[in-house]
Amino acid sequence: MELKEITTPSYVIDEKKLRENLELLSDVQEKSGCRILLAQKAFSAFSEYPLIGRYLAGATASGLYEARLSSEEMGKENHIFSPAYRESEIEEIASICDHVIFNSFSQLAKYADTVKGIQEKRGITDGIGLRINPEFSTQDEPIYDPCAPGSRLGITIENFRKGVKEYSGEFSLVSGLHFHTLCEQGFEPLRKTFDAVEDKFGEYLALPQIKWINMGGGHHITKPDYDREGLIELIQRIKCTYSKPCNGCVNIDVYLEPGEAVALNAGYLVTEVMDIVENDIKILVLDASAACHMPDVLEMPYRPPLRDSGPAGEKKYTYRLSSCTCLAGDVIGDYSFDEEIHVGDRLVFEDMAIYSMVKNNTFNGIGLPSIYAMDESGECRPVKEFGYEDFKMRLS
Ligand SMILES: *Cc1c(COP(=O)(O)O)cnc(C)c1O
């Protein structure tokens, strides 16, 4: 099936783009010696996990469900971070996760023995980590800045020092440190952030017990202008500086866990124009919705790229793109086109693989888009369809 023949609305995963991203990431792994994990919260299209698993070291999760998904569908390294874990879930988590990262010394104290006991039976001896907060902001959006004042994410150096004293027994079980502070950023912010991490936490990184460091996600590694050479050099320097004897060899593992970068520009949302109404401006009513199918458009907010279009007024015909919901603000943006648009035409939103399928919803009783995969030759195959039951199932 060709792209123009699929049902709408549909997400289409572009496997060629995905593979190209994975090749870039795999090249960074090979040259630097780091290990890269898919952050599933950005992209959990598990039908592609076998492909992703051929290139990356594994996946990371924000909770039990994502951890189960990668355990079932990828079966490689499986990591988890959550601000807090449920007592009823921690044993299952420890039995399927290779790294369990805690956000506080109180969570560490509560669960470290349980996790260690279960992981040791699986032959894992370095599976417990702590998330640190270097308190070094590199962006202006507080909603995406874990270093913003008052953030719950990660342990500040002041609390870390206290924790190491107060919980010295539990701290001796910690084998790694994790930080995640970036969002859609280049290499320079990472370099500066790592300087801050070293400045504050360097003495802990140097401890013999610390066998790995995880530098989180938010790295736009697969963007054409990303300084991958810089990244590779930084990782090599970290490995040299903080290496220590470990099982007879000398090393420290460096992890990255990008979400966006894995599936950047590797998917589309295809929609059909259902009606055109006029109120000062011509408004397209689409069968896709910002609120339901691309919530980041309203949440971030941002204007998604649309194939063969320009900003309002640039091309001959300008329209406001909107949806079938009752939410007045469910507007995607104003776009212009060379040709007049008609009812029944199809529009293709770009870069719709990430933070789309994982965030969609059935608000207004709007159906979920189908999922297609487009292979290297451009052939589209249906992966999943949704219907009324998917709407009803979540309600009572
Ligand atoms: C969101 C998140 C990621 C992935 O971030 P991207 O911006 O999609 O690369 C990785 N690690 C943690 C802890 C996260 O919260």
pLDDT score of 248 more than 80: no
Query: Would you say residue 26 lies in a domain?
Result: no
The predicted pLDDT at position 246 comes to 60
Percent of the chain at pLDDT > 90 equals: 96
Report the CATH number at residue 169.
3.20.20.10
Question: Cα separation of 40 and 30, whole Å?
Answer: 22
Query: Would you say residue 387 lies in a domain?
Result: yes
Q: Which atom of ligand 1 is nearest to the CA of 182?
A: 7
Contact between residue 24 and residue 228 where contact means Cβ atoms under 8 Å apart: yes
The rounded Å distance from CA 156 to ligand 1 centre is: 19
Domain count for the chain, please give it.
2
- Band (247; pLDDT cuts 50, 70, 90): low
Q: Domain check: are 239 and 291 in the same one?
A: no
The rounded Å distance from CA 281 to ligand 1 centre is: 39
User: Is the CB of 258 within 6 Å of ligand 1?
Assistant: yes
Percent of the chain at pLDDT > 70 equals: 99
Q: Which residues are within 8 A (CB) of 339 and not within 5 positions of it... i.e. 6 or more apart?
A: 316, 317
- Band (244; pLDDT cuts 50, 70, 90): confident
Task: List the residue whose alpha carbon is closest to atom 14 of ligand 1.
Answer: 217
The residue out of 229, 263, 297 marking a domain boundary is: 263
Q: Domain check: are 271 and 385 in the same one?
A: yes
Q: Domain check: are 225 and 304 in the same one?
A: no
The rounded Å distance from CA 24 to ligand 1 centre is: 18
What pTM does this model have? 0.97
User: Is the CB of 154 within 6 Å of ligand 1?
Assistant: no
Query: Would you say residue 156 lies in a domain?
Result: yes
Q: Domain check: are 330 and 310 in the same one?
A: yes
Q: Domain check: are 62 and 203 in the same one?
A: yes
pLDDT score of 245 more than 90: no
Q: Domain check: are 300 and 321 in the same one?
A: yes
The predicted pLDDT at position 142 comes to 86
The predicted pLDDT at position 251 comes to 83
User: Is the CB of 42 within 6 Å of ligand 1?
Assistant: yes
pLDDT score of 176 more than 90: yes
Total residue length of the chain? 396
The rounded Å distance from CA 313 to ligand 1 centre is: 36
Could you tell me the end-to-end alpha-carbon distance of the chain, in angstroms, rounded to an integer? Answer: 37
Q: Which atom of ligand 1 is nearest to the CA of 81?
A: 13
| Phi, psi (degrees; rounded to nearest 5) at 120 | -60, -35
Contact between residue 135 and residue 149 where contact means Cβ atoms under 8 Å apart: no
The residue out of 228, 263, 298 marking a domain boundary is: 263
Q: Domain check: are 233 and 85 in the same one?
A: yes
Q: Which atom of ligand 1 is nearest to the CA of 216?
A: 11
The rounded Å distance from CA 369 to ligand 1 centre is: 24
Q: Domain check: are 376 and 280 in the same one?
A: yes
Q: Domain check: are 306 and 272 in the same one?
A: yes
pLDDT score of 249 more than 70: no
Q: Domain check: are 102 and 184 in the same one?
A: yes
Query: Would you say residue 27 lies in a domain?
Result: no
Query: Would you say residue 19 lies in a domain?
Result: no
The predicted pLDDT at position 69 comes to 98
The rounded Å distance from CA 319 to ligand 1 centre is: 34
The predicted pLDDT at position 298 comes to 96
- Band (35; pLDDT cuts 50, 70, 90): very high
Q: Domain check: are 328 and 243 in the same one?
A: no
User: Is the CB of 262 within 6 Å of ligand 1?
Assistant: no
Q: Which of 52, 60, 79 to mutate to test the pocket of ligand 1 (most atoms within 8 A of CB)?
A: 60
The predicted pLDDT at position 304 comes to 97
Q: What average pLDDT does the structure give for the chain?
A: 97
pLDDT score of 250 more than 70: no
Q: Each residue of 331-380: pLDDT tens digit?
A: 999 999 999 999 999 999 999 999 999 999 999 999 999 999 999 999 99
The residue out of 263, 297, 323 marking a domain boundary is: 263
The predicted pLDDT at position 293 comes to 98
Q: Which residues are within 8 A (CB) of 260 and not within 5 positions of it... i.e. 6 or more apart?
A: 42, 184, 217, 218, 220, 354, 355
The predicted pLDDT at position 192 comes to 98
Structural domain containing residue 62:
33-263
Query: Would you say residue 382 lies in a domain?
Result: yes
The rounded Å distance from CA 94 to ligand 1 centre is: 21
The rounded Å distance from CA 1 to ligand 1 centre is: 34
Q: Is the dihedral of CA 187, 135, 129, 104 positive or negative?
A: negative
pLDDT score of 167 more than 70: yes
Report the CATH number at residue 291.
2.40.37.10
Instruction: Using the CB atoms, write b or e for 159-177: b if 16+ within 10 Å.
Output: ebeebbeebeebbebbbbb
Q: Each residue of 83-121: pLDDT tens digit?
A: 999 999 999 999 999 999 999 999 999 999 999 999 999
User: Is the CB of 134 within 6 Å of ligand 1?
Assistant: no
Query: Would you say residue 127 lies in a domain?
Result: yes
Number of Cβ atoms within 10 Å of the Cβ of 79: 26
Query: Would you say residue 191 lies in a domain?
Result: yes
User: Is the CB of 41 within 6 Å of ligand 1?
Assistant: yes
DSSP one-letter code for 1: -
Q: Domain check: are 318 and 242 in the same one?
A: no
